[in-house]
Structures are given as C-alpha cells and as structure tokens.
Amino acid sequence: MNAHTKAILDLLDERYGTEYICYLNHENAWQLLIATILSAQCTDARVNIVTKDLFVKYPSVEAFANADLKELEQDIRPTGFYHNKAKNIIACCRDLVEKFGGQVPSSLEDLTSLAGVGRKTANVIRGNIFHEPSVVVDTHVKRISRKLGLTREDDPVKVEMELMKVLPKDHWILYNIQIITLGRQICKAPTPRCGECFLTEHCADFQQRLKNGGLKKDAAGKKRRRADG
C-alpha cells in the first residue's frame, strides 16, 4: 500500500470509524439478498420502508418462491423497476429452494448464478453475511475512487479488480461502507461539497481542478480558510 492510499484510509477511519455498518435492514441472509436486489436504482431508506411490511407478508424464502407475480409487483412498486425485480426475486428464491436447500450460498459463482444477482449484490452478501473480504462497487465507490485517483477504470468489474490490488484486504468491506457514507453526505453527484471534504488534499480530481482554476470560489475559499486557521 502506497502513502497516498494509506493517507486516504487513515482519514476515512478517523472520520467514520472502523465499525461495519449495513444500511439495508435485515435479520438474515435471504432478507439481505432480497433487499439488495430491491436497492437497484433505489435508496436504501425507501427499501427499508418497503421491506418492513414485505418480510412480514413473506416470512420465508419459500413464501417468495411461491408468490404471485402481479401481487409481488405491487408490494415492491415503490422501489422502482418492480416488474423485473419481482420476476427476479421469485426466480431467485425458487433457485434457493430447489438448488441450495433454501439457504443463501456463500461463493461468488453460486450467488451470481441466481436471478437478479450480479457481482455487486453477491459481494454485499459475501461481505456482510459471510464476512468474506469483498469490494462492492456501486455508483459512489466507482465515482469517488476515480476522483481519489485509486482507479482510472470505468467498468465496475475492472474497478473492483483494481481496488482489490491497491487496498489492503482488511479494508475492502470497510472502504465500501466509508465511501458510500462519504458519497451520501459530502461527495454528492453532480455537485460535491468540496468545501466540507476532509480528503481534498488527497483527491486527484480536486487538486487538478484547483490547478486549472475550475473550482467554485466557495469550495476553494473554504479550504484555504480552513488551512489558514
């Protein structure tokens, strides 16, 4: 790990701590799996509102496997893309019942064989349920990792592979949590709050824009005032 990466991780640890946090409410592996499928193009807060009643109505993998498609679509409608999500959830749960004895598998290969489960969802499960070090590349992680100069890749799988090389394994899951928090609170798209950010000294994007004079006065000014006193 080089000095640039270490400085970023040290600041993230200092600001956000080293506790593992999952923003999707769940009590077991299959609930997290379904919640993660629902979280595509939807906020975790909205998913948590939906799953509060959803997991009461469907209390098991078998209940989802036998769900009526049209009814489930209406149950999850607030999460968006509910036609595909409902179809994938039912197919996924049927596979869990028929191929895995109703249990959520732990391997990346088995997880990604399930309907609606890509590498991102699989790594969420591997990291949060099975505590297997995994790099979850969502929009926040991809966007901010590029800004920080930790990757130049744009494809999520390539970003994942590159981050696995530059980050120490004991920080893979933690980095995901910290960067997602940073993305929600400060480094927002499309207007990041650079004047409030604690990583600007190590942010390749910020430093380049500062050099080129492309920063708004308020962001650059706040950073200068903070440095001066």
Distance CA 91, CA 66 (A): 10
For residues 139-161, one letter each, b for 16 or more C-beta atoms within 10 angstroms of the residue's C-beta and e for the rest, the string is ebbbbbbbbbbbbebeebeebbe
Distance CA 87, CA 125 (A): 20
- The kind and range of the H/E element at 184 are helix 172-185
Nearest to 149 by CA among 98, 112, 194, 200: 200
Residue 92 labeled ligand binder:
no
Residue 22 labeled ligand binder:
no
Annotated catalytic residues are 120, 138
Contact 73, 89 (CB under 8 A): no
Residue 197 labeled ligand binder:
yes
Binding-site residue positions: 187, 194, 197, 203
Binding-site residue positions for [4Fe-4S] cluster: 187, 194, 197, 203
